[in-house]
Amino acid sequence: MKAITLLTDFGLKDPYVGIVKGVILSINPDVHLIDISHDVEPQDVTEGCFIIQEYAPFFRKGTVHLCVVDPTVGSKRRAIVVTHDGHFFVGPDNGLFTLLLDSQSKIYEITNTSYMLGRVSHTFHGRDVFAPVAGHLSLGLDPAALGEEISEPVRLADIHPVKKGRSLTGRIVRFDRFGNAISNITAASLNAFHKGRPFSIQVAGLRFGKLNKTYSEKAHTCLEGSSGYIEFAAFKDSIARNRSIRKNDPVTVRLTPP
């Protein structure tokens, strides 16, 4: 059975998620719909970008991923489909798919109105454009039928940490439900930077001299999270609240004298 995942910032208070599902099921009543999250911080494209990279690899090839975090809906921003590693990603061309894009990715602009709802609003492309396109892709539609291939999708700036001399600087990009602060520095990039040499990691007045392995080792921990990114946590507490860490706070790794 084909699957469509859904990631949005719609929340569940309003009927938006249910409407999107209704549109998809009217096109392919047999598709399996999987909710990833509808609690992306409203209009936070960067948070959505990191979540997509985290969950998509756990689905089989051929899965369609409907991703809608779209603060500029109704503007001149393009609607696109990205094909990557056998998966299909449907959503706005606003940088949401930055971390997926590589030399093997193909991007198609969605312009063929035959695969949209009859009347496209200026405020709900999730319903009128992305949902029907996802439904048709789940039925085997060739994405080339949706529009022309494009070569310059929008990419988020400052998405990766920056190395300068003896320092590596990233930032906090999101918080999970437990209040853990997740950075854009991967454990792999940290290891490649320090190469076994002593280092320190600083964020919001906290300083760590090593990575912990579990959340329970100390009151405040710095560790590699399950997604492979360095994160900061307070045991049985929210470090976001406990230490007033904020999104976009700098995370600085420095080599230290032995």
Structural domains of the chain ordered from first start: 3-150 (3.40.50.10790), 162-255 (2.40.30.90)
Q: First vs last Cα of the chain: how many Å apart?
A: 56
Q: Can you give the pLDDT at residue 67?
A: 99
- Bridge partners (DSSP) listed for residue 183: 172
Please, which residues have CB within 8 angstroms of residue 70's CB and are 6 or more apart in sequence?
Answer: 77, 91, 92, 94, 125, 126
Backbone dihedral region for residue 62 (phi beyond 0: left; psi -120 to 50: alpha; all else: beta): left
Mean pLDDT of 181-197: 96
| pLDDT tens string 122-138 | 999 999 999 999 999 99
Residues present in the chain in total: 258
- Please state, in angstroms and rounded to a whole number, the distance separating the CA atoms of residues 121 and 129: 9
Q: What mean pLDDT, rounded, does the chain reach?
A: 96
Q: Can you give the pLDDT at residue 253?
A: 98
| pLDDT tens string 219-251 | 899 999 999 999 999 999 999 888 889 999 999
The secondary element (H helix, E strand) that includes residue 21 is: helix 16-27
Between 257 and 36, name the one with better pLDDT. 36
Please, which residues have CB within 8 angstroms of residue 205's CB and are 6 or more apart in sequence?
Answer: 243
Percentage of the chain surpassing pLDDT 70? Answer: 100
